[in-house]
Amino acid sequence: MAAVRPRFGRALLRLFAVQGSYNYERMLGLGVGVAEEPLLRGLPADGPVSPYRAAVARGAHFFNAHPYLAGLAVGAAARAEHDGAPPDLIERLRGALCGPLGSIGDRLIWAGWLPLLSGLTLAAISLGAGWTAVVAFLVVYNVGHVALRWWALRAGWEHGVRVAAALHHPLLQRGTALVGPAMACAVGLALPLTAQYLAAPFGAWARAVLAVAAVLGFLALHWLPGRLTGLRLGLGFAAAALVVGWVWR
């Protein structure tokens, strides 16, 4: 490894804006390239085709993965540049990381960590925790995702072209295995508590109407999977509520 002092702090701050230049041609590529640039500053920058300029250009090529784990590719590619890896190897490394980082990130965060904390927060609010639950959600969620970004960046730099070893880290393997069932339990707990909390201001007949509407909505989603989506159903219920409220007034 080259004798450089990696600027992890600057790279981490830039990773928070990795989606700021998202586009359909390079996806997260430009944002990843901007985040990788501080880690490349130890490379020689002299000459018209300097290693530094070439590495910066490669860092902005196409890349798509979960934004919280993109730092793994940033650190690995930067380390490979300092180690003198061939450019085509670095390109293949970046391309090979897109699928695993996207899949693991989606299962760990979007289908696990976020709905898990959301379910616990809704349950806590329904039980009377109020704004304390909201503040706790924001603190715990952001501490978790910042720590994940930091770990990914450091792990990528540590492993370089052998970054595949980081994908077997217990944080990712056990995390994805545990967070799914935990999310299901949290959401299962939150649904009845939240429904009771939201229905409390209504009378018995109105609660019965809401219950029937919910059952019919679930059945419609089951029977019409290609024609009806959750968004359309929600918009339909919202429109119906507005009409009923206007007529009732």
Tokens at 225, concatenated: 């999977």
Contact in structure between 92 and 63 (CB atoms under 8 Å) = no
User: Which pLDDT band holds residue 182 (cuts at 50, 70, 90)?
Assistant: very high
Please determine, for residue 50, whether its predicted confidence score (pLDDT) is greater than 70: yes
What share of the chain in percent tops pLDDT 90? 62
Give tens-digit pLDDT for 216-240.
Answer: 888 888 898 878 888 888 888 888 8
Q: Work out the mean pLDDT of the chain and round it to a whole number.
A: 90
pLDDT of residue 89: 95
The Cα 84–Cα 178 span in angstroms is 39
Say how many residues make up the chain.
Answer: 249
203 vs 97: CA distance, rounded Å: 54
What does the alpha-carbon distance between residue 141 and residue 118 come to, in Å, rounded to a whole number?
9
Q: Is a pLDDT exceeding 70 seen at residue 3? A: no
Mean pLDDT of 119-136: 95
* pLDDT beyond 70 at 2: no
- Compute how many other C-beta atoms are within 10 angstroms of the C-beta atom of residue 97: 24
- C-alpha count within 13 angstroms, C-beta hemisphere, residue 16: 10
Strand partners, 23: 27
Residue 241 has pLDDT above 90, yes or no: no
128 has pLDDT over 60: yes
The pLDDT tens digits of the residues spanning 65-121 come to 999 999 999 999 999 999 999 999 999 999 999 999 999 999 999 999 999 999 999
Mean pLDDT of 158-173: 89
Interhelix angle 29-36/70-82, rounded to 10 degrees, is 50
Q: Where are the domains of the chain?
A: 8-201, 202-249
* Least trusted range by pLDDT, from 33-37, 126-130, 202-206: 202-206
